Amino acid sequence: MDFQGRAFYNLLRFNSLEDPASKHYEKWQVEDYRILTDSEIFYRLQAYSCDLDVDSFLSLAKNFDSPEALAEYLIPDEIQAEDADKIYLCLFELWRRHHKDCRSLSIFADELDFWMHIYDGQKEDIDEIINAYLFELENFLDEALDEGKDAKASFAAITYYFAHDIETFIYDFIYDLIEKESLTYASELIDAFLPYVEQEIWFDFLKLKLFSKQDIEQFPSLLSRFAEKAIEKKDVELIIEVLDLMIETSMVDLFTHLFKQGIQFVTNFGIAQEFLEILQEFYESIEDHKKLEQVHLLKKLSSKKEPTKKIVQDDPILIELKELF
């Protein structure tokens, strides 16, 4: 019997919380199953002839390695897909709260999704909780590696269990740790996930950002080499991040070189505006008020354009931008 996984419904729930007025979801799809009582869950299951209580549920569950396997066993093939999902969601929640000794990957991902959602809301400091879950995620990946599976393929397979973009979350979390000067945790997480992630160069950038907080003599040369790599990749967003790091570390000459090289990859007015923002920060940092006035004028002109509108290299804004150096 096919049914949607918990990650799918977590995604629906998170989207509904972002847009409570949306009519695109039914209540059962987006409600918080964690707040339902056992009695309510068992009552819902009885509507589908699943007569269970905690003891009989556990007696059944011990024969399976995941709530998905249990659902496959219990849900009849002829049942409607929507009803199958309703049963699955109830079984999943029972497994999560009562069968804690058998934490499948889907259960683990659901827990981490829950904490990632809280972290993104910035309602409380839960860095240590997130750290613990991420190192447990590394253990899942290391076990797959020990079984001879490809590192990146294993990570890609695991991502399907999450409602969040797990690679982007890990990157953002490590970035935040570096900003908070939690350098040891940040370093450990970079080393843990670098072999697995798809966007290795972004995690290399995190390592570079980490080095910028430490007394490393080779940092300028490392930064210079990485800047060349960013230009080779023609990755505008990465170039902007590197430029920002150069401002933080007062690398004026390197900034000038990379900025001139990076302008050639500006393809729309939105990106042009980002380059102007970073240039404004640069001239503020070196207190060049004359150039700042020119940047402000260019920002005003650029802001009148649609961000997605294509920009050509001989556009007056880009020409004047290049002439600022």
Which tens digit of pLDDT belongs to each residue from 294-308?
999 999 999 899 999
The domain boundary, picked from 189, 214, 239, lies at 214
Cβ 266 vs Cβ 318: under 8 Å: yes
Q: Tell me: do 144 and 208 sit in the same domain.
A: yes
Which tens digit of pLDDT belongs to each residue from 168-196?
999 999 999 999 999 999 999 999 999 99
The whole domain housing 277 covers: 215-325
E strands, the chain, in order: none
Rounded to whole angstroms, the maximal C-alpha distance in the chain is: 77
Q: Give the orientation angle of helix 67-74 with respect to helix 81-98, to 10 degrees.
A: 140
The domain boundary, picked from 102, 122, 156, lies at 102
Q: Tell me: do 229 and 204 sit in the same domain.
A: no
| pTM for this prediction | 0.91
Q: Tell me: do 81 and 127 sit in the same domain.
A: no
Which tens digit of pLDDT belongs to each residue from 265-294?
999 999 999 999 999 999 999 999 999 999
Q: Tell me: do 121 and 195 sit in the same domain.
A: yes
Single out the residue of 86, 103, 63 nearest to residue 1, CA to CA: 86
Q: Tell me: do 181 and 282 sit in the same domain.
A: no
Cβ 68 vs Cβ 106: under 8 Å: yes
Burial of 172: CB neighbours in 10 Å, binned 0-12, 13-18, 19+:
middle
Q: Which two tokens stand for residue 130?
A: 């997130």
Which tens digit of pLDDT belongs to each residue from 25-56?
899 999 999 999 999 999 999 999 999 999 99
Q: Tell me: do 208 and 239 sit in the same domain.
A: no
Tell me the average pLDDT of the chain. Answer: 93
Burial of 311: CB neighbours in 10 Å, binned 0-12, 13-18, 19+:
middle
Q: Tell me: do 52 and 74 sit in the same domain.
A: yes
Single out the residue of 216, 204, 198 nearest to residue 241, CA to CA: 204
Total tally of structural domains belonging to the chain: 3
The residue-averaged pLDDT of 54-75 equals 96
Single out the residue of 66, 26, 60 nearest to residue 45, CA to CA: 60
CA distance 193 to 207: 12
Q: Tell me: do 225 and 298 sit in the same domain.
A: yes
Which tens digit of pLDDT belongs to each residue from 204-218?
999 999 999 987 888
> If you ran DSSP here, which 8-state letter would residue 307 be given?
T
Burial of 315: CB neighbours in 10 Å, binned 0-12, 13-18, 19+:
middle
Cβ 129 vs Cβ 114: under 8 Å: no
Q: Tell me: do 161 and 183 sit in the same domain.
A: yes
Q: Tell me: do 32 and 130 sit in the same domain.
A: no
The domain boundary, picked from 199, 214, 229, lies at 214
Q: Tell me: do 221 and 311 sit in the same domain.
A: yes
Cβ 83 vs Cβ 48: under 8 Å: yes
Burial of 306: CB neighbours in 10 Å, binned 0-12, 13-18, 19+:
exposed
Q: Tell me: do 221 and 145 sit in the same domain.
A: no
Q: How many CB atoms are located within 10 Å of the residue 167 CB?
A: 19
